[in-house]
Amino acid sequence: MRITFIRPHITARRAADALEPLVFGILAKLTPPDVEIKFYDARIEPVPLDEPTDLVALTVETFTAKYAYQLAMHFRARGVPVVMGGYHPTLLPDEALQFADAIAIGDAETVWAQIVEDARAGRLKRVYQSQPNLETDGVVPDRSIFAGKKYKPLHLMQIGRGCKYACDFCSIHAFYGRDMPRRCLDDVLKEAEELRGKYVFFADDNLFNDLEYAEKLFEALIPYNIHWSCQVSLDIAQNPHLLDLMAQSGCIGCLVGFETLDEANLVQMRKKWNKKYGDYANTLARFHERGIMVFGSFVFGYDHDTPDAFARTFDFAMRSKLALAQFNPLIPTPATSLFERLKKEDRLIYPRWWLDDSYRYGETIFRPKGMTPDQLAEGCFKIRQDFGKYGSIFQRMLSSQANSGSLYNMFAFLAVNIASIKEIYNKQGVPLGNGAPLDVAELALEVPNFNNVRLA
């Protein structure tokens, strides 16, 4: 039997910042040894549509849904069955089932063996419902499928999934609800042994869902000589012992979701706890004094944002010497509270933007209250450009405490900034998918309300 794994891309252009897609390493490890595996990543290489195969497996996010559906149509026209998994098929199963022979709802690991067995026997079910836990003890991703591919030299690891918070724009809570599964520490350390001496990004939605577990993890990682980074919530800065352990175990950077400088916006997005921990400057200092760079994430378009929000946020990011920053327009993802609110208020310009042939990456998807759609799109693009200028990069880099406390930090700082600015220009204004139109005239589906529905 031959299985082809495909990681679709947002657009037809190649990406400048592609990382190894961990899910396929996990599925490869769980695939029976007598099955021949091929893997293609549309972000960095062409996908051969004439690939001889018995099953195609696609992981689908909302931004890659159009490309995934276009790929699926090609393979199904050849008589090759297609199975899809990931956030988008889980949250919009009826839509995905119009392009796939089968979908996995929730994390695919717990149902992958059954999918392979059923595909081999020619009896694929339409829907496979996963269990909301990590029943993969002893499984370390098979990274051999990434060999020879031009990924950034940053290896992904995942300890757990889900998040203890429920921000209204985030699809993580819609996907996992209150479930926050995690791997056993022995498995994590087995994987860390394979990555000894390398740069790792912990791809957890929130690495600090369980502080006791996090403390044990960081203590155990100290001997492995791993340089690592992760996503954090601001409450971690209130725990100096944990911050010390992070630094001792090799943490060089943290992605912090500041989101906005406006407290009313924080309340609206259900993230008012961000301000609970005091002044952002004092919080940042606790990371910087331990040699941990801070990558900031900001979103624009909430109801209390006006055009001056861009200048204020840019000044904050520069003054704070953020190593890197994401400045994103607010994206209403299906199944989130944000999407439902904007839909109810009739403010969606592109109700199903992820399939709309007229939508372009970087455009505003809805009508903001405090500015025009064009002001939001243009403001986000300009602040990204300004932050990525060489003058800005070197001004931030020259802060020894914040970003260049070591040669390794300086190299990492330059690498992520250069990749980031390349990707900004690479994506801006391009259509989603492979560039061809996707005929969705027959798809008269309503995007369902998932506020009270658990899917995974």
pLDDT tens digit sequence for 444-456? 444 433 333 332 2
The answer to whether position 440 is within a domain reads no
Q: For 72-118, what is each residue's pLDDT tens digit?
A: 999 999 999 999 999 999 999 999 999 999 999 988 888 999 999 99
Do 114 and 187 fall into the same domain? no
Q: For 430-442, what is each residue's pLDDT tens digit?
A: 999 987 777 654 4
The answer to whether position 143 is within a domain reads no
The predicted structure's pLDDT at residue 440 = 55
Q: For 297-354, what is each residue's pLDDT tens digit?
A: 999 999 999 999 999 999 999 999 999 999 999 999 998 999 999 999 999 999 999 9
The answer to whether position 217 is within a domain reads yes
Task: Pick the last residue of a domain from 106, 123, 140.
Answer: 123
Read off the DSSP letter of residue 404: -
The predicted structure's pLDDT at residue 450 = 32
Which range marks the domain in which residue 10 is found? 2-123
Listed in order, strand segments (DSSP E) in 53-148 are: 55-59, 82-85, 102-105, 127-129
The arrangement of strands across the sheet holding 155-157 comes to 155-157, 199-202, 227-232, 251-259, 293-300, 324-329
Do 98 and 192 fall into the same domain? no
Q: Say which CATH number the domain at 113 has.
A: 3.40.50.280
The predicted structure's pLDDT at residue 116 = 98
The predicted structure's pLDDT at residue 204 = 87
Taking the C-alpha atoms of residue 96 and residue 66, their distance in angstroms, rounded to an integer, is 10
Do 317 and 207 fall into the same domain? yes
Do 289 and 406 fall into the same domain? yes
Q: Are 162 and 133 in contact (CB under 8 A)?
A: no
User: Does 14 score more than 70 pLDDT?
Assistant: yes
The answer to whether position 139 is within a domain reads no
Q: For 245-302, what is each residue's pLDDT tens digit?
A: 999 999 999 999 899 999 999 999 888 777 765 678 888 999 999 999 999 999 999 9
Q: Are 383 and 95 in contact (CB under 8 A)?
A: no
The answer to whether position 138 is within a domain reads no
Do 275 and 349 fall into the same domain? yes
Q: Say which CATH number the domain at 357 has.
A: 3.20.20.70
Taking the C-alpha atoms of residue 387 and residue 375, their distance in angstroms, rounded to an integer, is 18
Task: Pick the last residue of a domain from 86, 102, 123.
Answer: 123
Q: For 413-424, what is each residue's pLDDT tens digit?
A: 888 898 888 888
The pair of three-digit structure tokens given for residue 384, joined into one six-digit string: 């990204």
Taking the C-alpha atoms of residue 32 and residue 55, their distance in angstroms, rounded to an integer, is 14
The answer to whether position 131 is within a domain reads no
Do 108 and 216 fall into the same domain? no
The predicted structure's pLDDT at residue 8 = 97
Paired sense of beta strands 199-202 and 82-85, if any? unpaired
Do 68 and 217 fall into the same domain? no
Do 368 and 265 fall into the same domain? yes
The answer to whether position 219 is within a domain reads yes
The answer to whether position 104 is within a domain reads yes
Domain count, the chain: 2
Taking the C-alpha atoms of residue 363 and residue 367, their distance in angstroms, rounded to an integer, is 11
- pLDDT bucket at 132, cuts 50 / 70 / 90: low
Do 334 and 421 fall into the same domain? yes
Do 265 and 205 fall into the same domain? yes
Do 256 and 401 fall into the same domain? yes
What are the Cα distances from residue 315, in Å, to 79, 308, 383?
Answer: 55, 11, 10
The percent of residues above 70 in pLDDT, for the chain, comes to 93
What are the Cα distances from residue 299, in Å, to 102, 171, 304?
Answer: 35, 15, 12
Do 165 and 82 fall into the same domain? no
What is the 3-class SS of 260-290, one letter each residue? CCCHHHHHHCCCHHHHHHCCHHHHHHHHHCC
3-state helix, strand, coil in the chain (%, to 5): 40, 15, 45
Mean pLDDT, all residues of the chain: 89
Average pLDDT over residues 59-84: 96
User: Does 388 score more than 90 pLDDT?
Assistant: yes
85 three-class SS: strand
